[in-house]
Amino acid sequence: MRTEAQYRKDLEKMKTEIWMGGKKIEKFWDHPQIQAGINSQAVTFRYAEDPKFEHMMTTTSHVTGERVNRFTAMYQSIDDMWQMDVALRTMIHECGHCVGRCVGRDGLSAIGIVAYDVDQKYGTHYYENFKNFLKEYQAKDLTSCGAVTDVKGDRSKRPGQQEDPDMYLRVVERRKDGIVVRGAKANITTASYSEEIIAVPTRAFVKGEEDWSICFAIPTDTPGVKHIAMTSADDPTKPTEGPISNKYAFTDSLIIFDDVFVPEERIFLNGEWDEAARIGQLFGNFHRHSHCGCIPSRIDNLVGACQLIAKMNGIEKKAHVKNKLFELIKTGEMVYACGLAASHLGMETPSGIWQPNFIYSNLGKYYSGSTYGREMEICMDLAGGLSITMPKDEDYMNPVTRPYMEKYLRGSTNFTTDERIRAMRMMTDLCASEYSAVWMVGGVIGAGAPEAQKYSIMSNYDLTDQENYARAYIGMEPLKKEEVAGQEHIPAGFKSKK
Ligand SMILES: Cc1cc2nc3c(=O)[nH]c(=O)nc-3n(C[C@H](O)[C@H](O)[C@H](O)COP(=O)(O)OP(=O)(O)OC[C@H]3O[C@@H](n4cnc5c(N)ncnc54)[C@H](O)[C@@H]3O)c2cc1C
């Protein structure tokens, strides 16, 4: 396993082509705002170095038997899966919102399950490719982004119906030793400083759409890969403004695949159109389960911030404040419980990888997305208007204006004005900044649109069971239903379909 220092040093070997703010970024590891993303990923190495967190942060690889960082491992059991939620909730207390190491790993988990099944069905060798890649990924303790979301063009048209066939990532050339791909993936978190891109199909395909039915992994700095990145990290030269986001944030990339060669051994699906959708759906399931660990931690951070600002404003004992804190706590704990349920009611797949229960992982993500606006409203309400209208650092540092700010911006006398100003800036970061807006949109539509989550819940909820109860009440014959082996312990109505 790598240490945090080794991880940071290894990034300096990369030649990733990144464009941001109109400029080509050389030495991305030195760029202050990209560093805010690197700092977030670095947390996953730092915690793994600490013997106190050994069980939470490390596990045994199912491909090598070696001890590996949990962020590179495939789940093998309920505990394995649940420890990821515990790890996310623990670490995000330190870095605000996201450690940025789940998306790629969630993509790999989906790939492992489907590659195994495709090999059984078609006699291909994708699982071998996957296993070899995973060995390298674990041995080097790599980081990756999950590149799922195609740019998609006109949403009402299939890939082949688009005016431009590159609206979905596709194969443009097949060679003996690999494929050449063209297209773009949008909104890809951590891509500019991750070491690998895990490319996963975003939708279901039909016969004739073989060229779009592809899945692979390549290093982020492969020739032809270009990142057009954005960051919501605050300006680190102004240390009190954006107290969280000037240290911990991330970038999102529009990744361009400009005729990129993917070697044969890095391909996990290549033309098997009938299996592509499962990878996308499983990715969604794994990733929504990950949200059940990070969202509760993000909400914990809001609860703490709201409690502190309420004290600074002298309102912490008021009934409405307690009610609002309760609302936040309720959401966080419900989502965490969904993560626990998804782990416990998950199932082992033929590949040996433990898969989360579809209903609970999707429900956790759907519920948290639907309450995000209310959480922001509570923060704005309890902090008051200064959370967005606080004069800037330059005025606080100016000897003419500072005394006025010192005098008039004090709240409860239990705190200094300086503390209250810093707390207000933290509230801006959490609920009224570009950084918070990225999180809010990500909270709603990240890991797939809410409709995709609803679809996953509805298609895995056993309506037949429920109709049979109704039929029994009125003496009707029950509908016949298909049982899924290994799910006998799961309550009726909540069984994952294979
Ligand atoms: C902060 C953030 C981080 C993200 N990180 C990642 C990442 O790391 N990796 C990654 O792969 N993706 C990432 N995403 C992308 C995310 O998964 C997508 O935004 C999501 O899947 C929706 O896709 P879209 O943005 O193209 O929106 P659209 O698909 O255009 O959806 C917009 C609306 O159109 C509806 N819609 C779309 N198509 C249809 C249709 N055919 N029929 C009916 N309604 C339709 C949707 O339900 C939704 O209401 C991230 C997004 C955000 C905001």
Residue-wise DSSP of 144-184: EEEE--B--SSTTS-GGGSSSGGGS-EEEEEETTEEEEEEE
Planar angle of CA 244, 248, 254, nearest 5 degrees: 125
Q: 446 alpha carbon to ligand 1 midpoint, in Å?
A: 7
| The pLDDT of residue 495 | 54
Contact 283, 148 (CB under 8 A): yes
Which amino acid is it at 477? E
Ligand 1 pocket: which of 291, 366, 445, 455 to mutate (most atoms within 8 A of CB): 445
Contact 365, 453 (CB under 8 A): yes
- CATH T-level fold of 280-459: Butyryl-CoA Dehydrogenase, subunit A; domain 3 (1.20.140)
Q: 104 alpha carbon to ligand 1 midpoint, in Å?
A: 17
Note the CATH number of domain 4-278: 2.40.110.10
- In the block, residue with structure tokens 């040093």: 9
Ligand 1 pocket: which of 105, 155, 286, 456 to mutate (most atoms within 8 A of CB): 155
Rounded to an integer, what distance in angstroms lies between the CA atom of residue 115 and that of residue 59? 23
Count of C-beta atoms within a 10 Å radius of residue 463: 12
| The pLDDT of residue 498 | 43
**Residue intervals in the chain for CATH 2.40.110.10:** 4-278
> Closest residue (by CA) to atom 46 of ligand 1?
449
Among candidates 373, 304, 355, 461, which has minimal Cα distance to 106?
A: 355
Q: 445 alpha carbon to ligand 1 midpoint, in Å?
A: 6
**Beta carbon of 442 within 6 Å of any ligand 1 atom:** yes
Quick check: helix, strand or coil at residue 76? coil
Ligand 1 pocket: which of 154, 161, 169, 187 to mutate (most atoms within 8 A of CB): 187
Contact 384, 313 (CB under 8 A): yes
Ligand 1 pocket: which of 41, 99, 149 to mutate (most atoms within 8 A of CB): 149
| The pLDDT of residue 241 | 83
Q: 352 alpha carbon to ligand 1 midpoint, in Å?
A: 30
**Beta carbon of 199 within 6 Å of any ligand 1 atom:** no
Counting from 1 in the atom list of ligand 1, the atom nearest the Cα of 189 is 8
**Beta carbon of 154 within 6 Å of any ligand 1 atom:** no
Q: 99 alpha carbon to ligand 1 midpoint, in Å?
A: 21
pTM across the whole model: 0.95
Rounded to an integer, what distance in angstroms lies between the CA atom of residue 186 and that of residue 189? 9
Among candidates 58, 60, 64, which has minimal Cα distance to 76?
A: 60
Q: 449 alpha carbon to ligand 1 midpoint, in Å?
A: 5
- In the block, residue with structure tokens 């998609």: 152
**Residue intervals in the chain for CATH 1.20.140.10:** 280-459
Contacts of residue 19, Cβ cutoff 8 Å, sequence gap at least 6: 25, 226, 227, 228, 229
- In the block, residue with structure tokens 């119906």: 161
Q: What are phi and psi of 120, to 5 degrees?
A: -65, -40
Q: 274 alpha carbon to ligand 1 midpoint, in Å?
A: 22
Count of C-beta atoms within a 10 Å radius of residue 381: 14
**Beta carbon of 149 within 6 Å of any ligand 1 atom:** yes
**Beta carbon of 184 within 6 Å of any ligand 1 atom:** no
Rounded to an integer, what distance in angstroms lies between the CA atom of residue 114 and that of residue 122? 12
Each residue's pLDDT tens digit in the chain (498 positions)? 999 999 999 999 999 999 999 999 999 999 999 999 999 999 999 999 999 999 999 999 999 999 999 999 999 999 999 999 999 999 999 999 899 999 999 999 999 999 999 999 999 999 999 999 999 999 999 999 999 999 999 999 999 999 999 999 999 999 999 999 999 999 999 999 999 999 999 999 999 999 999 999 999 999 999 999 999 888 777 767 889 999 999 999 999 999 999 999 999 999 999 999 999 999 999 999 999 999 999 999 999 999 999 999 999 999 999 999 999 999 999 999 999 999 999 999 999 999 999 999 999 999 999 999 999 999 999 999 999 999 998 999 999 999 999 999 999 999 999 999 999 999 999 999 999 999 999 999 999 999 999 999 999 898 888 999 999 999 999 998 766 555 555 555 555 554
Nearest-Å Rg of the Cα atoms of the chain is 24
> Closest residue (by CA) to atom 2 of ligand 1?
442
**Beta carbon of 188 within 6 Å of any ligand 1 atom:** yes
**Beta carbon of 150 within 6 Å of any ligand 1 atom:** no
